[in-house]
Copies of this chain bind each other. A is one copy, B any other.
Amino acid sequence: MARPRATVGSLNNEDRKRSVVVAGIGVGKMGVASAGPQKRQRSTAMQRAMNDESKAQRRTQLLQAAKDVFAEKGYHTATMADVARSAQVSYGSVYWYFDSKDELFRALMSDCEMALRDHVGTALQTTPDTGDPAAPFRAAVQAAFEFFEADPPLVKLLFRDAQTLGRGIETHLVGIYEGFISDIERIVVPAQAAGAVIDAPPRMVAFSIAALVGQIALRRSITDDGFNAREVADFVVDMLLSGLRPRREPVAWG
């Protein structure tokens, strides 16, 4: 960050015509043409990020604002001005930290994805190893739903907007899923080896789980189903493991 702004494809400064704009709302002698350029008015001086730490902090502040804005409006409808406003930073400042809207969005997605994978990974590692091969699976799904419940904008970004930025074509397949799916696949494969999971193609199984968890989380980020994260996770895990056919010990609902 804090790179010198590249002057790519810019016009000669001499070529730029400067038109007169008078500050203020609806006032000013608009009739007076070609007056000298007016004094710039700075509104409120923003505390400047000078060291690496505060720069990282400002970057985070921008990412947080971007998350809210993108989640609310969607990538295309949200504007950089919205992000700047939400972050309480000037328009130009956003471009000090991110080269483009596209880069900002990618950085945001990347952050969100890492945060999710970190959270689930940690939950997985802190789960005690009972003999049950389903235990890590249940722990992972629970961790995911808890994480999603705490951060609805993140869910919208990850499962609604991820696919909108199609890098032209679907090179990256179905958006940000892939890393997440790979994580799940790493749980599925040993479970299959242990005979605890049917012998279907592991990536298809993993994708199905990711899709189900993602879509349900997305729905929950929009509507209130009246259940908490743990209950939903239990439903999903039970359904995935045992299917919709009735069992001996029914799960309680309602």
Measuring CB to CB, which residues of chain A are less than 8 angstroms from any residue of chain B?
73-77, 160, 163-164, 166, 170, 173-174, 195-201, 204-205, 207-208, 211-212, 214-216, 218-219, 222-223, 225, 235-236, 238-247, 250-251, 253-254
Contact = CB atoms under 8 A, between A and B. Distances in A.
A172 to B, nearest CB: 10
Given A164-B164, A207-B216, A222-B174, A200 B243 contact: no
A197 B242 CA distance: 11
Secondary structure at chain A's binding surface: helix, strand, loop or mixed? loop
Given A160-B163, A198-B239, A212-B212, 10 more contacts: A75-B76, A76-B76, A76-B164, A196-B246, A199-B253, A200-B239, A200-B251, A201-B253, A240-B243, A242-B243
A198 B174 CA distance: 31
Contacts of A218: 174
A244 B240 contact: yes
Contacts of A244: 197-198, 200, 205, 240-241
Contacts of A205: 239, 244
Report how many copies the assembly holds: 2
A253 B202 CA distance: 11
A66 B251 CA distance: 46
Contacts of A250: 198-199
A243 B239 contact: yes
A245 B198 contact: yes
Contacts of A236: 208
Contact of A247 (B173, B198, B211, B239): B198
Contact of A211 (B173, B215, B235, B242): B215
A203 B164 CA distance: 27
Contact of A166 (B74, B173, B215, B253): B74
A216 B222 contact: no
Contact of A74 (B164, B200, B235, B238): B164
Given A208-B239, A211-B216, A201 B163 contact: no
A227 to B, nearest CB: 8
A243 B160 CA distance: 27
14 contacts: A76-B76, A77-B166, A170-B223, A173-B219, A174-B215, A200-B235, A201-B225, A201-B253, A204-B225, A205-B239, A211-B216, A214-B215, A242-B242, A243-B245
